[in-house]
Amino acid sequence: MSFRHFAIGACALLLATVGCAGTSPTEAPTTAPTTAPTTAPTTAPTTAPTAIAQCTVGVSWNNFQQPRWAAADKPNIQQTVEAAGGKYIDADANLSSEQQLTDVNNLINQGANVLILLAQDQNAILPALQVAKDHNIPVIAYDRLIEDPSILYITFNNVGVGQAEASALLDKVPTGNYVIIKGDSGDPNASTFLPQGFKDAGLLDKEAAGDITILNKSGNNFPADYGTFTDAWDTAKAQSNMEAIIDKAVADGNTIDAILAENDSTALGVVAAETAKGMAFVPLSGQDGDKANLNNVALGKQYVDVWKNANELGKAAGQAAIQLCQGVAMSDITINIGASVAPTAGNSPTDFTTPGGNTVKSLILQPTPITADNLSDVMSAGWWVTKDDICKDVTSSDPGAAACGL
């Protein structure tokens, strides 16, 4: 049975029975559906409400396995919506693209007037997007792009994140052997935006000059042939991939001098692999500002963690959702967030050209690279990771000693 027909059947079954709502498929689709499901939700608003009290914001999370979603993004979206008088509802697809289709239908059936979608896969989510369109429900693509001109894309500057990661490592390790550990291939951040940032930082120029060598490069097609993808950004899979790369480097008589890991969960896998293989810790990147990773920066196990203050991203999404509920046009939305992360293009949406050639309205926030030298910036910003978390087991000889008051 094709996935398209499976998805249609799953949605139809969902609407006919209540008991199946909590069951998640165990396998994500390998191919993207090409048409929207034909079964529409049983109840859905057909026009945007004009009063905030009528606003229900439905959020479809692809998973809560990344710590920041539950710790920072969700509470800030929810608090912003509820403080404005709206209602917040959500669902966790637990890494299943099929379950996410079901979740979106459920959210619409519960009365969602606006949807915020953190897509598991930008192609597999398209049938859910079509259902929302059919019911005049505006959609915010949250932190992960959906290739459709109708969405409002709210994210951090992911090209800038990649540039910050690579710039920090290239400054620290201007010559030597590099490894690239990428995220999930279905996420444009992993396959397109972050690698573009690596390129903008001069990675390919340094390679062409002979200053660096990419050890896990399979060909010359950038970015597809550069680095190793990690399914679902999973830490255990990143560890397994990295252990294989270490074994090959040892067999070939090569050292590993720096590692570009695209996010914090993959960076944790790298540290676990280095530990398992008895390899000395080398300069390593990541992003998100997760607890274990900021602690690793203080301990010297990770060199840079590009911090995306998701408190502010959640506030931006909540503010935008409330305005969409009131019938404000996407282009006329205005957000009010911290100056350190505010979009350089201003606090109203601007046009963004996607890799697929679509033009979408976007709000693109600014990230902050964190090393041991500026760990105190995170500590003073009200981030969910506390000073005690960051400074756990840090001694006076560790890179984070000064920030930890040692």
Binned at pLDDT 50, 70 and 90, residue 52 comes out as low
Total number of residues shown for the chain: 406
The domain locations on the chain are: 3-157+310-368, 159-308+372-390
* Residue 3: pLDDT over 70: no
Please list the residues that pair with 213 across neighbouring strands: 177
Cβ atoms of 107 and 60 within 8 Å: the answer is: yes
In the chain, the percentage of residues whose pLDDT exceeds 70 is 87
- Average pLDDT score, the chain: 88
CA–CA gap between residue 261 and residue 380 (Å, rounded):
26
- pLDDT value for 164: 97
Distances, alpha carbon 270 to alpha carbons 60, 74, 81, 188, 261, in Å = 29, 27, 38, 22, 8
- pLDDT value for 360: 96
Each residue's pLDDT tens digit, 159-196: 999 999 999 999 999 999 999 999 999 899 999 999 99
pTM: 0.78
Please list the residues that pair with 353 across neighbouring strands: 359
Select 159-308+372-390's CATH number: 3.30.565.10, 3.40.50.2300, 2.60.40.1120, 3.90.1150.10: 3.40.50.2300
Quick check: do 3-157+310-368 and 159-308+372-390 share a fold?
yes
Token pair listed for 259: 């590692």
- pLDDT value for 54: 82
**ω into 399 cis (within 30 of 0):** no
Binned at pLDDT 50, 70 and 90, residue 28 comes out as very low
- pLDDT value for 143: 93
Local structure of 179: helix, strand or coil: strand
CA–CA gap between residue 372 and residue 355 (Å, rounded):
34
CA–CA gap between residue 274 and residue 246 (Å, rounded):
8
Mean pLDDT calculated for residue range 258-277: 98
Token pair listed for 248: 């090959």
Could you confirm whether domain 3-157+310-368 is CATH 3.40.50.2300?
yes
CA–CA gap between residue 14 and residue 16 (Å, rounded):
5
Mean pLDDT calculated for residue range 51-71: 86
Which are the contacts of 156, defined by CB distance < 8 A and separation ≥ 6? 143, 308, 313, 341, 364, 365, 366, 367
* Residue 245: pLDDT over 50: yes
Judged by average pLDDT, the poorest of 6-15, 134-143, 169-178, 195-204 is: 6-15
Each residue's pLDDT tens digit, 194-239: 999 999 999 999 999 999 999 999 999 999 999 999 999 999 999 9
Local structure of 362: helix, strand or coil: strand
Judged by average pLDDT, the poorest of 12-26, 192-206, 272-286 is: 12-26
